[in-house]
Amino acid sequence: MTLLTSNDELAAACERLSRHPFVAVDTEFLRETTFWPKVCVIQLASPDEAFAIDALAEGLDLSPFFALMADASVVKVFHAARQDLEIIWRLAKLIPAPLFDTQVAAMVCGFGDQASYLELVRAIVKQSLDKSSRFTDWSRRPLSPAQIDYAIADVTHLRDIYAHLRARLESSNRLHWLADEMKTLTSPATYEQHPDNAWERLRHRARKPRDLAVLIELAAWRESEAQARDVPRNRVLKDDMLIEIALAAPRGHEALAGLRAFPRSLERSRSATDIVAAVERGLARDPDGLPRIARERRTNNSAIVELLKVLLRHVAEETGVAAKMIATVEDLEAIAASDDAKAPALAGWRRAIFGEQALELKRGKLALAVDNGKVVTLNWQETDEPPAG
Convert the pLDDT of each residue in 371-382 to its tens digit: 888 888 888 665
User: Hey, where are the domains in the chain?
Assistant: 3-190, 195-289, 299-382
pLDDT band of residue 297 (cuts 50, 70, 90) is: very low
Question: What local confidence, expressed as pLDDT, does residue 296 receive?
Answer: 45
Dist CA 153 CA 51 (whole Å): 9
Indicate whether 197 pLDDT > 80.
yes
Kindly compute the dihedral angle of the four CA atoms of residues 312, 313, 317, 321, in this order, to the nearest 10 degrees: 60
Please tell us whether the domain made up of 195-289 is placed in CATH 3.30.70.260: no
Phi, psi at residue 75, to the nearest 5°?
-75, 130
Instruction: Read off the DSSP letter of residue 304.
Output: H
Q: How many CA atoms lie within 13 A of 371 on its CB side?
A: 7
Question: What local confidence, expressed as pLDDT, does residue 375 receive?
Answer: 87
Average pLDDT of every residue of the chain: 92
Convert the pLDDT of each residue in 132-158 to its tens digit: 777 789 999 999 999 999 999 999 999
Bridge partners, 379 (sequence order): 366
Dist CA 290 CA 213 (whole Å): 7
Question: What local confidence, expressed as pLDDT, does residue 341 receive?
Answer: 93
Instruction: Read off the DSSP letter of residue 141.
Output: S
Question: What local confidence, expressed as pLDDT, does residue 298 receive?
Answer: 45
Cβ contact 223:233 at 8 Å: yes
Convert the pLDDT of each residue in 343-383 to its tens digit: 999 999 999 999 999 999 999 999 998 888 888 888 866 55
Convert the pLDDT of each residue in 24-44 to its tens digit: 999 999 998 999 999 999 999
Indicate whether 250 pLDDT > 60.
yes
Instruction: Give mean pLDDT, residues 224-240.
Output: 95
Fold of 299-382: DNA polymerase; domain 1 (1.10.150)
Query: Do the two domains 3-190 and 299-382 of this chain adopt the same fold?
Result: no
Q: Report the CATH architecture of 3-190.
A: 2-Layer Sandwich (3.30)
